[in-house]
Amino acid sequence: MKMKKLTVAVLTIAALGAFNVNAAQFSGSDNSVETQICLAVASDSKGKLHRAVRQSQQSMSYIAQSVKCNGMSLSQFAAEHGASDIGKQLVRVNRPINVKTVTAKL
């Protein structure tokens, strides 16, 4: 029984290591709120996104439609980087409004 648990533990650690190797590493070209939003989306971190949106003093709906990351909408950027939690959140808040597009380069 101990050998089975050890095997499962080793396989789990190996699988987690494989995911970390494949994870994209991002760094922003500046410290703007738009860059922080893009970094939060790329890391699929709802907490980081919430803090960056709050710092922007704009609504999530406005941010979802106005901020572009590497030339992509936030939804496209989230899909491109496998950020499914953020992608689901963006779908819920994405409704038509007048926006001024702001672009961040990572």
Each residue's pLDDT tens digit, 60-100: 889 888 899 989 989 899 999 999 888 888 888 876 555 56
List the domain boundaries for the chain: 33-94
> 10: Cβ–Cβ under 8 A, 6 or more apart, which residues?
none
Q: Scanning the structure block, which residue is given the tokens 């003093």?
A: 57
Q: Residue 100's closest CA among 14, 34, 23?
A: 34
- CB distance 70 to 106 below 8 Å: yes
User: How much is the pLDDT for 94?
Assistant: 73
Each residue's pLDDT tens digit, 10-63: 444 444 444 433 345 666 677 889 999 999 999 999 999 999 999 999 998 898
- CB distance 26 to 43 below 8 Å: yes
Q: If you count DSSP H runs as helices and E runs as strands, how many of each does the chain have, helices first?
A: 6, 3
